[in-house]
A and B are shown apart, each in its own frame.
Chain A
Amino acid sequence: MSLHLPHERQRRATGVYVVLALFLAVLGIAFFRIQVLRSSTWALRAESNRIRQLPVPTPRGIIYDREGRILADNVPGYAITLLPGPLDSARATLDRMSKYVDLPAREVERVLTTMSRFGREVVVDADAPFAVVSAIQERRAEFPGVYVEMRPRRRYVLGAAGGHVLGYVGEVTAEELADEEFPSDRYTRGMIVGKTGIEKQYEAQLQGRQGLKYVEFDARGRIVGDFAGVRTDAGEAGRELVLNLDLELQEWIHSIFPDSLSGAVVALDPADGGVLALYSAPTFDPNAFVGGIEQDLWDGLIADEGKPLFDRSVLGLYAPASTWKLAAAAIALDLGVVMPDEHMEVQCTGSFRFGDRVWRCWDPAGHGWQTLAEAIGNSCDVYFYQLGLRIGLDDMLRRATDIGFSRRCGVDLPQESQGIFPSERAWWNRNYNYSPTQGEVLNLAIGQGPNSQTPLKMAQFYLALARDGSAPSPAIAQGVPLAEGWSLNLAPEHLESIREGLRMVTAPGGTAHFGTALEHWDVIGKTGTGQNSLSVQGLAQNHAWFAGMAGPPGAPPEIVVAVIVEYGESGSSMAAPIMAKTADFYLRRKHGIPVDTIQTYLEHLRAGRPAPWYSRRFPSPPGEGR
């Protein structure tokens, strides 16, 4: 066979053509199969390749105060999200991003861990400043997988003044998502949910329905644009919420509460038990939590000895001390074991002998013979020892438990401490391993012994005194079903005698007179000096209580306020003025009288400002009978 022979070449060529035809036919068939027969499958895949579903965050419901003023609303914010991708390139992207965004190493690790664990997008900065956003948008090509979106950002108008009651929002955690409170059809990772306070309590109402949009990405996760093929679901905004709170009152309390001290102020509306103000000090600014709190700030809040995150108004438990004497009085009247104008068997000589020991009154000089009102005005321990004995331990425990001193008020907040008060004799056996004697009732009657209450609970009790003896459950939001309240079975004249006792505390000659005397309003209430673990050792002052009510002279009370100042020493000089100033502010606003920062008579005296109204309001000269 020779290549010189044409027919041989022809034979060889035919062989080559056959092989060539075979190869080309294989290619042709392969392309026909993939491009003609199965094209639609691949076309679908091409779309899913580059089109991703992304959530559209919707604004939370706006929170209004009782006057329709905004307490919490939303402003436009920018969130920087990193889409899932190879960890190496994600890390490189974050490194590049750290030139523009403050990204500590541990934050980079958090993002990468979350991404590798859940394989989905991670919010790098939930609240990026506009300058950062535009810097990143300009260099889009450098940031594959980075997605910047507008995201409503929560804003709390009250700032620190409403930190505890309103709470704050944050990104939903894996633990929360596992909870049935966050149903998977409404909640997905990365969503912003209420973490504490009202934001958490009314999460279901405030949270809208997240929308969906379809976005085209390139292979490196760089956004190309919205995909027009599928309609975007805008989602629904959250529903609004109207609260009983009074924005200005809340601010006012924040401004008058002593800066360096801890404590709480609760203001209730006697008309319906609505919460006018709920304040705890020290406080924090919930705005700092929006978009993720900075680690330093968080560490500071956690390390702060004043425990600023702790809501003292509903979680703090304090010995109610003398403010609880009114409960003993109300129970006695309710049970009919005492008449308002009768005297006790033994007059107060500064001490009282019961059993084998002597029980002292706070005033060793003694108070003599007293009616109920006088005993309240004097806060006389000896009178209340005997009143306790008349009630008897069992009835005392039963009625105090009925009123709920060992229960929660049922306020619409996610957390509330339960009061501590024995419900039965067996309580001592359980807790202290001894059987209580009748002597326990003496301690209980003056607000001591195993009795710890929240400021809110004490406010609720005074709410009953300000009303007809019934106490609805305090409610922060309007138009929500209330927890069941309770009621004291008190005749109007009995209630009047109790209020008479409260009036003596703030009347000329009463301990809290100067700090509570106001130009326009009658203030009545009760001081308390709560012992605490430090004060019994002589290491700190006692807690200062004042609980009371105020309203126009001769008219029913229009506001109930309970104040506690931790280690405030004196209920009359520390807590009472805060209560009076709170009430004065609220009532002046309500009745259209201009507000002044110098409110009480004491403040007038200190400021050297004349108070011509004082002699008109309190005709008998002050100081007499002190």
Chain B
Amino acid sequence: MIRLLDRWSVDPKLVFAIGGLTLFGIAMIYSAGEVHIPNPVTDEAWLRQLLWFGLGLTAFTVLSRVPPRWIEWVAIPAYVLSVVLLGVTLVVGTGAGTAAGVKSWIDLGFISFQPAEIAKLTTILVVARLLSQRGAVKLTSLRDLLAPSALVGLPLALVVLQPDIGTAMAFVGILFAMLFWAGTPVALLVLVASPVVSLFLSYDTRIWSWYILGVIAFLYFYRYRLFLFESVALVLANFAAATISRPLWNSLATYQQNRILVFLDPEVDPRGAGYQVIQSKVAVGSGGLLGQGFTLGPQKRYDFLPEQHTDFIFSVVGEELGFIGTALAILAFGYVLVRLVQLAERSPDPFAGLVLLGIFGAWLVHVFVNIGMTVGLVPITGIPLPFVSYGGTFLFMSWVAVAIAVRVAHER
């Protein structure tokens, strides 16, 4: 099999690690359906996930044989199409499950999917194409970052409007990972991120004052020295972010505000907004070192865990497999992510490396935010865990990503 994959010129380590994660996910989805009072939908979710795994593998088999240049070629039309789809979603989109007010799905009747999942991949391709063409150009000023940022910013903005903050964060991960790989100095990336930091720090004027002084000083002593207007724009952006923080907060939907408030202290509303994170922490914490045993977690069985098939699947891992299970799962994801970087490192083709880092950025955000929220490390955003969370089209698209990753990586 490995030889077969080798001959097929795909990376067997990555494929097997991800295949293992997918099967692990299907096992956990099976367990998530093992509840005290079964529900016909969740009961057989693992079977549907298995079916989608099959479809994903089929897509993988086909796509991993496509010449990489086709992939590069298709990047622009695919990107345009996916942005259009995102726009359409804002009009005809539907919500799913608990987030019924959100417009993130397109329902075709026989199938429904999230255009944002496609957009992530096409954005990675189009940005990779852009940055690989300019391989020799230095990315040392803000102006250099404008084009890639705009390419990512467009779908990101459309996703924010859905609103789907979790996926939006994945786009941010894609952008930063790819810019970094393309050679952007870390300091510049920090500066780009600074208005966002300003936004959050503005709740305390004194802390924010020190912060803005630090930003200005940094700009002044920064070795690449930005253009003056860029520096001014950056400082102004910091001020603007601080100014809009209050109206921005007020413009958030109540549930979004609550998610941030309970992130700071879940116990302020243990039966309401803080319920999910508290129940998840109870599940994970009571799992202990060794866990309650596969399928046996009481928090899950008696329905205390929210969204246990999808967003909170990792809480089931924590409850039933304990710290041993969560640590191994985190290490497995770590291995997959490391493997992506290793492939990028070995790939002399800038396009391939950028695509791999884009996928890396997206998955890192997914993994960190999804796993982190089960223990209250990050606010709750509806973002699935790649290969593990239940969700057919997401699994399928993730496998498409795997196919593209191994395909571009092995083109020498």
A255 sits at the interface (CB 8 A): no
| Among candidates B36, B305, B344, B364, residue contacting A13 with C-beta atoms closer than 8 Å | B344
Could you tell me if B298 and A46 are in contact, using CB atoms closer than 8 angstroms?
A: yes
With contact pairs A35-B284, A36-B289 given, residues A24 and B37 touching in the complex (Cβ less than 8 Å):
no
Binary flags per residue of A124-165, CB closer than 8 Å to B gives 1, else 0:
000000000000000011000000000000000000000000
Could you tell me if A42 and B341 are in contact, using CB atoms closer than 8 angstroms?
A: no
Could you tell me if A219 and B136 are in contact, using CB atoms closer than 8 angstroms?
A: no
| Among candidates B301, B318, B333, residue contacting A218 with C-beta atoms closer than 8 Å | B301
A398 sits at the interface (CB 8 A): no
Could you tell me if A26 and B377 are in contact, using CB atoms closer than 8 angstroms?
A: yes
Most chain A Cβ neighbours within 10 Å, of B177, B286, B323, B333? B286
Complex: A9 Cα to B180 Cα, angstroms: 11
Binary flags per residue of B114-136, CB closer than 8 Å to A gives 1, else 0:
00000000000000000010011
**How close is A82's CB to chain B, nearest CB, in angstroms?**
17
Could you tell me if B289 and A35 are in contact, using CB atoms closer than 8 angstroms?
A: yes
Chain A residues near B36: list those with CB within 8 A.
218, 222, 224
One of A15-23, A201-209, A478-486, A500-508 at the interface: A15-23
Complex: A8 Cα to B184 Cα, angstroms: 12
Could you tell me if A46 and B182 are in contact, using CB atoms closer than 8 angstroms?
A: no
Chain A's interface size range is 35 or more
Chain B residues near A46: list those with CB within 8 A.
282-283, 285-286, 298-299
With contact pairs A31-B323, A224-B302 given, residues A16 and B285 touching in the complex (Cβ less than 8 Å):
no
Chain A residues near B287: list those with CB within 8 A.
35, 39
Could you tell me if A31 and B375 are in contact, using CB atoms closer than 8 angstroms?
A: yes
Say what secondary structure dominates the interface of chain A: helix
**How close is B50's CB to chain A, nearest CB, in angstroms?**
26
| Among candidates A8, A10, A31, A224, residue contacting B327 with C-beta atoms closer than 8 Å | A31
Binary flags per residue of B370-395, CB closer than 8 Å to A gives 1, else 0:
01100101000000000000000000
B288 sits at the interface (CB 8 A): yes
Could you tell me if B348 and A39 are in contact, using CB atoms closer than 8 angstroms?
A: no
**How close is B191's CB to chain A, nearest CB, in angstroms?**
17
Could you tell me if B183 and A42 are in contact, using CB atoms closer than 8 angstroms?
A: no
**Interface members, chain A 1-40 (any B CB < 8 Å):** 1-4, 6, 8-10, 12-13, 15-17, 20, 23-24, 26-28, 30-32, 34-36, 38-39
Complex: A26 Cα to B327 Cα, angstroms: 12
With contact pairs A42-B286, A141-B37 given, residues A23 and B341 touching in the complex (Cβ less than 8 Å):
no
| Among candidates A8, A42, A217, A224, residue contacting B284 with C-beta atoms closer than 8 Å | A42
Complex: A576 Cα to B388 Cα, angstroms: 91
B43 sits at the interface (CB 8 A): no
Chain B residues near A186: list those with CB within 8 A.
none
Chain A residues near B84: list those with CB within 8 A.
none
Complex: A357 Cα to B371 Cα, angstroms: 107
| Among candidates B330, B338, B345, residue contacting A31 with C-beta atoms closer than 8 Å | B330
**How close is B176's CB to chain A, nearest CB, in angstroms?**
9
Could you tell me if A45 and B282 are in contact, using CB atoms closer than 8 angstroms?
A: yes
Q: In the complex, what residue of chain B is closest to A16 when comparing beta carbons?
A: B341
Complex: A34 Cα to B288 Cα, angstroms: 8
Complex: A222 Cα to B281 Cα, angstroms: 22
Could you tell me if A3 and B183 are in contact, using CB atoms closer than 8 angstroms?
A: yes
Q: In the complex, what residue of chain A is closest to B278 when comparing beta carbons?
A: A45
**Interface members, chain B 287-306 (any A CB < 8 Å):** 287-289, 298-299, 301-305
**How close is A14's CB to chain B, nearest CB, in angstroms?**
9
| Among candidates A6, A12, A17, residue contacting B181 with C-beta atoms closer than 8 Å | A12
Q: Size of chain B's interface in residues, with CB distance under 8 A?
A: 57
Could you tell me if A38 and B285 are in contact, using CB atoms closer than 8 angstroms?
A: yes
**Interface members, chain B 234-265 (any A CB < 8 Å):** none
Q: In the complex, what residue of chain B is closest to A44 when comparing beta carbons?
A: B286
Binary flags per residue of A499-541, CB closer than 8 Å to B gives 1, else 0:
0000000000000000000000000000000000000000000
B368 sits at the interface (CB 8 A): yes
Complex: A38 Cα to B284 Cα, angstroms: 11
**How close is B343's CB to chain A, nearest CB, in angstroms?**
10
Complex: A13 Cα to B36 Cα, angstroms: 47
**How close is A271's CB to chain B, nearest CB, in angstroms?**
64
Chain A residues near B166: list those with CB within 8 A.
none
Chain B residues near A38: list those with CB within 8 A.
285
With contact pairs A34-B281, A34-B285 given, residues A4 and B348 touching in the complex (Cβ less than 8 Å):
yes
Could you tell me if B353 and A9 are in contact, using CB atoms closer than 8 angstroms?
A: yes
Chain B residues near A27: list those with CB within 8 A.
330, 368, 371-372, 377
Chain A residues near B347: list those with CB within 8 A.
9
Complex: A26 Cα to B364 Cα, angstroms: 13
**How close is A158's CB to chain B, nearest CB, in angstroms?**
46
User: Could you write out 15 A-B pairs with CB less than 8 Å apart?
Assistant: A3-B354, A13-B341, A17-B341, A20-B334, A23-B368, A27-B368, A31-B318, A32-B323, A35-B323, A36-B289, A46-B282, A46-B286, A217-B302, A218-B302, A219-B305
Instruction: Please name 20 further chain A to chain B contacts, defined as beta carbons within 8 Å, in addition to the given A12-B183, A42-B284, sorted by A numbering.
Output: A2-B135, A2-B136, A2-B183, A4-B348, A9-B345, A9-B347, A12-B180, A16-B360, A20-B338, A26-B368, A31-B327, A35-B287, A39-B287, A43-B288, A46-B283, A49-B299, A216-B302, A218-B37, A219-B279, A220-B303
